[in-house]
Amino acid sequence: MIREWLPHALRVPLWGDRERWGASVRTDDPCWREWERTYLNFYAANQRTGIGTRVNDAGYRVMSLVDLSGKRVLEIGPGDIRHTAYWKGKPREYLLADIHVGMLEQAARNPALGGVPTRTLLIERGAPLPIESASVDVVVSFYSLEHLYPLEPHLLELRRVLAAGGTLVGAIPTEGGLAWGAGRLLTSRRWFKKHTSIDPDKIICWEHPNYADTILAALDSHLVRCRVGTWPLPWLPWLDANLIVRLLYRKPD
């Protein structure tokens, strides 16, 4: 990864000041408190309009590779569940899990879930999922694994609740890659400066503590890789050159 060769002064504007602020959230920090009050506005402005929508939607296409018919599905950090346009089949139950009440309520109101038995789960950072072991057929995770820190125990929980042969499907941003860092420099970082007093060098570290290459290595150690692809340059699978990684993994039988 190019970041490993760049000096600290160039890494900070692209991926935050991780040496100074670390990866663990400081809940008493004024910037974090302001972020908790404004994150819904941020997502509405940066991920549901313009280039942000196009980037996010590019990841959702991987859902067309999974048959949800009669499956019990768990989605981690569901957001507004725009991937329903790519669904194959109807789940028998859909579980929504998030640490943010606002995001969870928004997801539960999505009309695309009409007719699908749905249950919401408000979870805590680092706490076990309130789901029995080996009871979920499909785990859906779009743009959430980059947030889960430390990553290892979260992946162990996802592996625990997945049934043998179950599927993990989703996408992650190429956090830690050059294209992602440069794109953020021109978009969401500017939004922070214009609309808040938040220091983005902190929030980047605390909201996206996991780099994409670290996530892929961790997934490979716990699950069987079925398909991993990059966007917008699928023929050039370097993380530095892309914005999104689509994921499809399976729990061993």
* pLDDT score at 50: 65
Tally of CB atoms within 10 A around 208: 23
Give Cα separations from 108 to 148, 230, 247 (angstroms): 21, 29, 24
Q: Is residue 60 part of a domain?
A: yes
In a domain, 52, yes or no: yes
Residue 54 lies in a domain: yes
- Answer yes or no: is 13 within a domain: no
Res 74: pLDDT: 98
| Cα(99)–Cα(101) distance, integer angstroms | 7
> What's residue 99's pLDDT?
85
In angstroms, the CA 177 to CA 241 distance is 7
pLDDT value at residue 4: 96
Q: Whole-angstrom Cα distance, residue 28 to residue 171?
A: 31
The domain total for the chain is 1
Let me know if residue 205 belongs to a domain.
no
> Is 228 a domain residue?
no
Q: Which domain holds residue 88?
A: 39-149+161-174+245-250
Query: What is the reported pLDDT for 52?
Result: 73
Tens of pLDDT, residues 178-227? 999 999 999 999 999 999 999 999 999 999 999 999 999 999 999 999 99
How many separate helices (H) and strands (E) can be counted in the chain?
10, 7
- Residue 189 falls within a domain, yes or no? no
Low-confidence ranges of the chain (pLDDT < 70): 47-50
